[in-house]
Amino acid sequence: MSLTDTPALSRPAASLLDLIGKTPMVEVTKLDTGKCRLLLKLENQNPGGSIKDRIALTMIEVAENEGWLKPGGTIVEATAGNTGLALTLVGKQKGYKVLLVIPDKMSKEKIQHLRAMGADVRLTRSDVPHGHPEYYTDMAERLAQQIPGAYYVNQFANDANSEAHFKSTAPEIWEQTGGNIDAFVAGIGSGGTITGIARYLKAQGSKAEIILADPVGSALAGIVNEGKPGPDGSYTVEGIGQNFVPDTADINLIDKAYSIPDAESIATARDLLLKEGVLAGSSSGCLIAAALRWCREQTEPKTVVTFVCDTGAKYLSKVYNDTWLADQGLAQREITGNLSDLISRKYEMGDVVVVGPEDTIDTAFKRMRGSDVSQLPVIQDGRLIGIVDESDIVHLMNTDEITRKDRFAKAVSSAMTRDLDTVQVSETLDALIPLFDRDRVAIVLDGEKFVGLITRADLINHLSLNR
């Protein structure tokens, strides 16, 4: 990059809200894009970390101008997280209360972020369809009717949603590409992004193909490609995909749709970080996976634009967590047909949190809390010699006539269980039941070599994934 290509720095902004939009664009150079040029508009650079900052600002300003939202009012919305973060950012800056209804599959980072910003977060079921009283949009609408001075944003049927992208996002894309764009790829969460940008491109006379990226399990790709909903199912990708067409979405503007499996979306997001250095979320992985499919189908050079919708920092506990992926059946693992298939944290891979016999009880407890486990294998010279769990620590706390400080300073060897219930890795699932009946965790060995632990939750998860 020459000095003349370097973007000029702007003067200090009067408000964080003034920094929404005008996001940069970067070219993908290390992923296989076939003959095409793939450009990513970095919406993760918005103040709230996502593309939803744009619509939050516009929807709130329109509500204020039309008298729907008045001083002291409450903003109510159903959201997969990012719209909620954006509405909270904008709403709090403007002095409003914010109440958000969020499906329970959302990442804990998003929920913690929202609560830290002062939002009233209500979690609801993610396994019920549109029209069910506990579906997140139905619940949000009901709450808004019950709260005096509340304004239900309803991004799924709010014209200001697509208008925000028509007036800001799309003109930026047009300027950054010089109008040279052959395909635009987006998903449908509320529908505003793909609708607003597609309308703008067509208004400019662009012949760009409008491509929908849709998670497998969402109904939308089937509606676009075949005129009927695709097979209904669940998916882990957050923020895009629906089992209904939002009022904001104009399906007729879309030329083609790709159904992207969760594993491909997540692998693409992780590949993007590994090769391009861009930390993106799961929906971005879905969009980029679809864009790459389209690119690789082309026989001549073309320019494609899609988004990094939000930052992957919101998904560190999920998309970038190998253990979580294994628990969801999304990790690339060798299937052995024995008990090792139930073990998501294997000792030989360094995934098992362990403790030594000379470590203190305080150390053991902190490792349990830090890793969200209730028991730790005790390892000495590479061999399993015992196990310590929460009940062992509680027993020690209740029996010694010494100070609490001294109790926590005791060695793990003074509390651990040496009488171990083990099973061989070659045994069947039936071997686990007697251990669980005795309220034990299954310690799995391969001969004398420690393989890992299996809990009740591991067994249930295995049975759920392999129905």
> What confidence score (pLDDT) does residue 467 get?
60
Residue 432, SS3?
A: helix
In angstroms, rounded to a whole number, what is the distance separating the alpha carbons of residues 231 and 220? 10
**Residues known to be catalytic:** 52, 283
pLDDT digits (tens, 9 = 90+) for 198-235: 999 999 999 999 999 999 999 999 999 999 998 888 88
Q: Which of 428, 449, 224 minimizes the C-alpha distance to 347?
A: 449
Backbone phi, psi, residue 388, to 5°: -125, 130
Tens digit of each residue's pLDDT (9 = 90 or more) over 141-195: 999 999 999 999 999 999 999 999 999 999 999 999 999 999 999 999 999 999 9
pLDDT digits (tens, 9 = 90+) for 274-303: 999 999 999 999 999 999 999 999 999 999
Q: C-alpha angle with apex 49: 328 to 219, nearest 5 degrees?
A: 45
> Residue 207 has what pLDDT?
96
Give 463: exposed, middle or buried? Use CB within 10 Å, 0-12, 13-18, 19+. Answer: exposed
pLDDT at 332: 65
List the structure tokens of 107.
């990442």
The CA distance from 220 to 173, in Å, is 25
Alpha helices (runs of H) in 126-261, residue ranges in sequence order: 136-146, 159-164, 170-177, 192-203, 220-226
Condensed to tens digits (0 to 9), the pLDDT of residues 311-327 reads: 998 888 888 887 777 77
Q: Which residues of 106-117 are buried (b: 16+ CB within 10 A; e: fewer)?
A: bbebbbebbeeb
